[in-house]
Chains A and B, each alone.
Chain A
Amino acid sequence: MRKLKEFFIEKLIFICGLASIFFVILIFLFLAREGLAVFKSVRLFDFLCGKSWYPISEPPQLGILPLILGSLLVTLGAAIISIPIGVACAIYIAEIAPLKIKEILKAGIELLAAIPSVVLGFIGMVTLVPWVKNTFNLPTGLTALSGSIILAFMAMPTIVSIAEDALYSVPKSYKEGAFALGATHWQTIYRVLLPAASSGIVAAVMLGIGRVIGETMAVMMITGNAAVIPQSILVPVRTLTATIAAEMGEAVVGSEHYFALFAIGIVLFIISFIINVTADLFLHKRHN
């Protein structure tokens, strides 16, 4: 009887374990089935490198190059803002902050992660967008830069908590060794701790970027959604995610537009897959 119970529980957990993989495969198959259909009417090259996105015209023009570049530009901007601040914040929390401040900071970072993206988008729309417009004297504040700044806020919690974890798990003996050799605190951090934790920090950055590139709502609200190839960070852009979210509602099931939106989904899937695998590689490197 006991053995039987053991057997069932074991199998049940096994099935649960398989389920997550099973769902990923199902999702991917569905994406592929719906998305690849677009290539019956558009060539892969024209889809990825086409410069015009007019999905509801006759015949539709389905070129997603401006959307890919829009997504990459916003993500790059967010990375440039969030990586230095995030890593510095992690160093401060892990190494310098007294215990009390450390607790407060950690709680604060977790709270930042808990703010829904639509709320951040709304705050950005009301405060950040007019600020960007006036500061840079632009025709409109709905720009890639506004999106980058808000997304940097969203990437920060991921970067800080994972990087802090990586710094914390550097063996104490490294630090003690550095101090024994007469290194200052900053020298120890810069020369010993950062290199020792580097793979974990890179993983933190990659996961942060992964969060940014998949973000939709806030970006849709503040980047202006104009499908042009961006010439600078101070112009409106349209991202892959915002395009899917904005157009899914009206796309007729089975139309080229509908398939194209799924194909955009595949592109996004591939991008975030690459980012996650890179992060994973670095995390494993650290554990070995």
Chain B
Amino acid sequence: MFKKAVFILVLFLSTALAFAAKNDNSIQVKGSDTMVNLGQAWAEKYMEENPGDFVAVTGGGSGTGLSSLISGTCDIAMSSRNIKDKEIALAKQKGINPFEIKVALDGLAVVVNPKNPVSKLTIQQLADIFTGKISNWQDVGGVNQKIVILSREVNSGTHVYFKEHVLRRGDVNGKEEFAPDALLLSSSQAIADEVSGNSAAIGYYGMGYISSKQKAIAVAKDEKSEYESSNIENVLSGKYPISRPLFFYTNGEPQGLIKKLVDYALSKEGQEIVVKTDFVPIKR
């Protein structure tokens, strides 16, 4: 009887230990919804090559990821925007030292229906269209037709990025808002579908969603600049004006397992996955 009890106890302890040991091999990655697919793809391949290590990737938004990093509930925060000074201050208070790693780039394409004759716009014109100042395609060289503005919902990092960098042109004190009659759709796919069936619509999303059913607009910084189309080369060279870096944030310089994962993401193989998930690699 006693022997049996000891045996069970030992068995129990060893399983507990095994689980504890396994936990040491796990990384929590959390943040930007834009980057979830990319993070997941990295995690899967990484775990295939390093059996025994465990990477959990969850979304929730850039802000959610960074606040988890600050509160110590995740190891890597994915973010489609730079960390704010406010967040750095908060992190320092809690003894966390956010370390920024640029892992990929994302180009935002502005799309219209292929039937629409308009094929190039300046940032200023885009801002006027999306704030509602220009409401007819005629004013930007198109046919006499009311413009139907499509945007993502406010919970989307893409919505915030587009507002800050196109509508407000990077001015943090800007007051510009999307026109109230802009249609807020819940996914990039919904925007793609509406644009492909509506000749008056204009929308925006990550370059990966462009298909032959939509036409991507060439964008110029201002009237004097060249109109650049949204392709990987132009994002890489920085010519295309609406592109953004995607980040990993860690507590201090990455070490151990976290470093292994970050290195994998930055490796040639990791950057190939970036291309496969329709983002732009930081190097080739």
Q: Which residues in A have some Cβ–Cβ distance to B below 8 Å?
A: 52-57, 66, 125, 130, 133, 139-140, 142, 220-221, 224-228, 235-236, 238, 246-247, 249-252
Q: Answer whether A142 and B194 are a contact pair too, CB < 8 Å, given A224-B183, A226-B180, A246-B186.
A: yes
The interface bits of chain B over 31-53 (1 if a CB of A lies within 8 angstroms of the residue's CB, else 0) are 00000000000000000000000
Nearest opposing residue in chain A for B198, CB measure: A140
Contact check: which of B67, B148, B180, B198 meets A52 at CB < 8 Å? B180
Do A56 and B146 touch across chains, with their CB atoms under 8 A apart?
A: no
Do B183 and A247 touch across chains, with their CB atoms under 8 A apart?
A: no
Nearest opposing residue in chain B for A54, CB measure: B177
Report how far A66 CA is from B179 CA in the complex, Å. Answer: 14
Q: How far is the CB of A205 from chain B (nearest CB, A)?
A: 31
Do B186 and A66 touch across chains, with their CB atoms under 8 A apart?
A: no
Report how far A235 CA is from B198 CA in the complex, Å. Answer: 15
Q: Does B211 contact A (CB under 8 A)?
A: no
Do B153 and A225 touch across chains, with their CB atoms under 8 A apart?
A: yes
Q: Answer whether A250 and B63 are a contact pair too, CB < 8 Å, given A139-B146, A139-B198, A220-B186.
A: yes
Nearest opposing residue in chain B for A133, CB measure: B198
Report how far A133 CA is from B200 CA in the complex, Å. Answer: 12
9 pairs, A vs B, C-beta closer than 8 Å: A53-B180, A133-B198, A140-B148, A221-B186, A221-B190, A225-B153, A225-B185, A236-B183, A252-B67
Give the residues in chain A near B61, CB-CB below 8 Å. 249-250
Give the residues in chain B near A250, CB-CB below 8 Å. 61, 63-64, 154-156
Q: Does B181 contact A (CB under 8 A)?
A: yes
Q: How far is the CB of B180 from chain A (nearest CB, A)?
A: 5
Do A66 and B180 touch across chains, with their CB atoms under 8 A apart?
A: yes
Report how far A56 CA is from B164 CA in the complex, Å. Answer: 12
Report how far A238 CA is from B178 CA in the complex, Å. Answer: 15
- What number of residue pairs across chains A and B have CB atoms under 8 A from each other? 69
Q: Which residues in B have some Cβ–Cβ distance to A below 8 Å?
A: 60-61, 63-64, 67, 145-146, 148, 153-156, 160, 177, 180-186, 190, 193-194, 197-198, 200-201
Give the residues in chain A near B185, CB-CB below 8 Å. 224-225
Do A228 and B181 touch across chains, with their CB atoms under 8 A apart?
A: yes
Give the residues in chain A near B201, CB-CB below 8 Å. 140
Name which of A53, A125, A140, A227 has the most chain B CB atoms within 10 A of its CB: A140
Report how far A264 CA is from B124 CA in the complex, Å. Answer: 35
Q: How far is the CB of A65 from chain B (nearest CB, A)?
A: 12
Report how far A94 CA is from B153 CA in the complex, Å. Answer: 46
Do B183 and A227 touch across chains, with their CB atoms under 8 A apart?
A: no
Do A249 and B60 touch across chains, with their CB atoms under 8 A apart?
A: yes
Name which of A125, A133, A142 has the most chain B CB atoms within 10 A of its CB: A142
Give the residues in chain A near B146, CB-CB below 8 Å. 139
Q: Answer whether A225 and B183 are a contact pair too, CB < 8 Å, given A140-B148, A249-B60.
A: yes
Do B183 and A57 touch across chains, with their CB atoms under 8 A apart?
A: no
Q: Answer whether A139 and B200 are a contact pair too, CB < 8 Å, given A250-B61, A250-B63.
A: yes
Do A140 and B180 touch across chains, with their CB atoms under 8 A apart?
A: no
Q: Answer whether A246 and B180 are a contact pair too, CB < 8 Å, given A139-B146, A140-B200, A140-B201.
A: no
Nearest opposing residue in chain A for B173, CB measure: A58
Nearest opposing residue in chain B for A230, CB measure: B181
Give the residues in chain B near A225, CB-CB below 8 Å. 153, 183-186
Give the residues in chain B near A221, CB-CB below 8 Å. 186, 190
Q: How far is the CB of B74 from chain A (nearest CB, A)?
A: 16
Report how far A252 CA is from B67 CA in the complex, Å. Answer: 10
Q: How far is the CB of B175 from chain A (nearest CB, A)?
A: 8
Report how far A40 CA is from B200 CA in the complex, Å. Answer: 42
Give the residues in chain B near A66, CB-CB below 8 Å. 180
Give the residues in chain A near B182, CB-CB below 8 Å. 226
